[in-house]
Amino acid sequence: GENVEQHPSTLSVQEGDSAVIKCTYSDSASNYFPWYKQELGKRPQLIIDIRSNVGEKKDQRIAVTLNKTAKHFSLHITETQPEDSAVYFCAATRSGGGADGLTFGKGTHLIIQP
Amino acid sequence: NAGVTQTPKFRILKIGQSMTLQCTQDMNHNYMYWYRQDPGMGLKLIYYSVGAGITDKGEVPNGYNVSRSTTEDFPLRLELAAPSQTSVYFCAHSNRGTEAFFGQGTRLTVV
């Protein structure tokens, strides 16, 4: 089955700086890669996703890049703000829309220092 | 509420007891899932369903059972609770090719 590795486990950045979180996946057939943000005690919520036919996607301060050859994808957050502090999870699936569920990384605790 | 209601929010079980976690979605989505999240870990798939009457095992199905008699409901049954089942459980749903919407979670402690 799919295996998703996520790094780093903790990331501390100064407010206003950029943050980058990286994930690698094992199944070359995976074709959908979402990123979820989870605040303490809350449910995971989708912040951005990318499909295998696209190399990069942006949504305001958030971007995701995908390298299918290397089987890795990354989340980029620019101009970080205190409300960006949370745990971020990457995930992967081969079923396009996730019919058979998502395989998650272990998460990155992003800390924004004032 | 992301179109999904999960109950209960919290529960303490004794070893060997059984319980059912309820999950109901009102967005008429075909796909539904149960995940568990252990401290400091990502979510692991327990069971999933692609439609009423169809269920399949995920990565960590042992000790759990599910049913899907309607599109809306996807209950998760724990039989003979064990300390290893202490976790936060999330129900989720999605439509083909779209994001998964998660419930608020059930924090379960087995003592």
Mutation site for A-interface testing, chosen from B5, B34, B37, B43 by largest number of A Cβ within 10 Å: B43
Q: Specify the DSSP class assigned to residue B99.
A: P
Say which residue, A79 or B40, is predicted with more confidence.
A79
Question: Does B99 sit within 8 Å of A34, measured CB to CB?
Answer: yes
Task: Give A5 to chain B, closest Cα distance, Å.
Answer: 10
Percentage of residues in chain A having pLDDT higher than 70 = 97
Question: B6 vs B9, B12, B103, CA distance in Å?
Answer: 7, 16, 6
In the three-class reduction of DSSP (H, G, I as helix; E, B as strand; rest coil), residue B9 is classed as coil
Q: Which amino acid is at B16?
A: G
The beta-carbon neighbor of B42 closest among A1, A43, A107 is: A107
- Is pLDDT above 70 for A61? yes
Q: Determine how many CB atoms are found less than 10 A away from the CB of residue B2.
A: 17
| Residues of chain B falling short of pLDDT 50 | none
Which of B41, B86, B40 shows the shortest CA–CA distance to B63? B86
- Kindly report, residue by residue over A62-72, the tens digit of the pLDDT: 999 999 999 99
Distance of alpha carbon B64 from alpha carbon A14, whole angstroms: 43
Contact at CB, B45 and A105, closer than 8 angstroms: no
Please tell me if residue A43 touches chain B, with a CB cutoff of 8 Å.
yes
State how far the Cα of A87 lies from the Cα of A110, in Å rounded to an integer: 6
A82 touching B (Cβ < 8 Å): no
pLDDT at site B49: 94
The minimal CB distance from A105 to the residues B42, B58, B102 is found for: B42
Residue B89 sits at the chain A interface (C-beta within 8 Å):
no
For residues A62 and A75, the answer to whether their CB atoms sit within 8 Å is yes
- 3-state secondary structure labels for all residues of B26-46: CCCCCEEEEEEECCCCCEEEE
Q: Which residue of B has its CA nearest to A2?
A: B59
Residues of A within 8 A of B105 (CB-CB) are: 43
For residue A98, what pLDDT band results from cuts at 50, 70 and 90?
A: low
Contacts of A51-56 with CB under 8 Å at 24 or more apart are A51/A96
CA A76 from centre of chain: 8
Per-residue pLDDT, B97: 62
Q: What is the pLDDT of residue A94?
A: 85
Looking at the complex, report in whole angstroms how far the Cα of residue B54 sits from the nearest Cα belonging to chain A.
12
